[in-house]
Amino acid sequence: MNFISLQNVFFSYTDVEEQQNKKYALNGVSLDVKKGEFLAIIGHNGCGKSTIAKHLNAMLLPDSGKVYVDGDDTSDEDKTFDIREKVGLVLQNPDNQLVASIVEEDVAFGPENLGVPPKEIRTRVDNALKAVGMYEYRKHAPHKLSGGQKQRVAIAGILAILPECIVLDEPTAMLDPNGRDEVLSTLLELNHKKNMTVVLITHYMDEAVLADRVVVMDGGNILTQGTPDEVFSQVELLKKHRLDVPQSAELAYRLKGCGVKIDKIPLNNAECIKMLEEVLR
Ligand SMILES: Nc1ncnc2c1ncn2[C@@H]1O[C@H](COP(=O)(O)OP(=O)(O)O)[C@@H](O)[C@H]1O
Ligand SMILES: [Mg+2]
């Protein structure tokens, strides 16, 4: 079932007065997000990923085309509130999202704004902090946490709104490898155990391979999409558009170039080792 549907969406940041050199950030994008799926969106800087993210919760509205969230048109102002409750957006830099001086107050901010009763806020905050593994830090000061911990608190702040879908715009870009692992395992767990729909925008290919489906953006439109296997086996196409592939796929591609027979492009270390064992046999 489609939870979010973008239908031929065009969007430009250019003012209407500057019609002649109008540049579109989104060039007729059609994309569905299914309920419960883990979707990764990858692509170069400036290809329109953040613009898509902001269309998913009505922060931006299409110039033409339609975006539906759970059947509601995002350009229907009466639905904006419902839509933002259903689709939570986490941005790149956690420092810009953490507003309070104590972790639990920060997480309570979203539900407070929604007018949730205090008792229920307490439960929601505790549950959200537990879900991201930050419950023990509830009395701490956010600015003293590590990058990965801050980003997990920011995710908890969104979870406390009880959204059905969480959209994350390069949430690991500012993090070290440990912080990235923390955030990624949190997202995978939310997706697997709580059936939360996750849309992860990332420029790390090793994160994208963990998704159910990968969408590759280029120049304001979708270049290709499919399962990680389907997408990353198109090494040639991705390289033509100067996009990275996972290191194991790169190795397989180069071996193929040397005439080695490779049946399946490996996407992670384990698959890569298997491939090398078969090659050497
Ligand atoms: N606030 C803005 N004002 C004007 N142009 C913008 C703004 N935000 C993004 N753009 C332009 O829109 C295009 C898509 O940007 P964006 O969605 O941020 O890409 P990405 O997230 O993939 O890096 C780029 O050409 C970018 O320069
Ligand atoms: Mg961006």
Q: Which residue is it, tokens 């100067």? A: 242
Structural domain spans, the chain: 2-228
- Nearest ligand to the CA atom of 217: 1
Angstrom distance (rounded) from CA 15 to CA 22: 8
7-29: pLDDT as tens digits: 999 999 987 666 667 789 999 99
pLDDT at 198: 97
Residues flanking ligand 1, CB < 6 Å: 13, 25, 43, 45-51
Residues 57 and 89: beta-carbon distance below 8 Å = yes
User: What's the CA gap between 250 and 267, in Å, rounded?
Assistant: 9
Domain 2-228, what fold? Rossmann fold (3.40.50)
| Angle (nearest 5°) at CA 24 between 13 and 76 | 65
Ligand nearest to the CA of 169: 2
CA of 34 to the centre of ligand 2 (A): 22
CA distance 112 to 91: 20
**For the CA of 23, the nearest atom of ligand 1:** 25
Considering only CA atoms, which residue is closest to atom 6 of ligand 1? 13
Residue 141, pLDDT score:
95
- For 55, phi then psi, to 5°, come to -80, -20
Ligand 2 center to residue 169 CA distance, Å? 7
Element (H, E) at 182: helix 177-194
| Count helices and strands in the chain by DSSP H and E runs | 11, 10
Atom of ligand 1 nearest to the CA of 44: 22
Q: How far is ligand 1, taken at its centre, from the CA of residue 48, in Å?
A: 6
Question: Which pLDDT value is given to residue 129?
Answer: 94
Are 178 and 152 in contact by the 8 Å Cβ rule? The answer is: no
What was the pLDDT predicted at 182? 86
* Mean pLDDT of each 10-residue bin along the chain, 281 residues long: 94 77 90 97 94 96 97 96 94 82 94 92 94 94 92 93 94 85 91 95 92 96 96 91 89 91 89 92 85
**Cα(180) to centroid(ligand 2), Å:** 17
Q: Look up residue 30 and give its two tokens.
A: 């059609």
For ligand 1, mutation pick of 24, 47, 60, 216 (most atoms within 8 Å of CB): 47
Q: Please, what is the Cα angle at 153 between 147 and 156, to 5 degrees?
A: 145
Closest CA to 70 of 54, 56, 52, 51: 56
Give the C-alpha separation, 126 to 60, whole Å: 31
**50 closest CA partner among 207, 164, 251, 220:** 220
What pLDDT score was predicted for residue 96? 80
> For the sheet containing 87-90, what is the strand order?
87-90, 165-169, 197-201, 38-42, 213-218, 221-226
**Ligand 1 probe mutation, 13, 21, 221, most atoms within 8 A of CB:** 13
Predicted TM-score (pTM) of this structure: 0.92
| CA 203–ligand 1 middle distance (angstroms) | 15
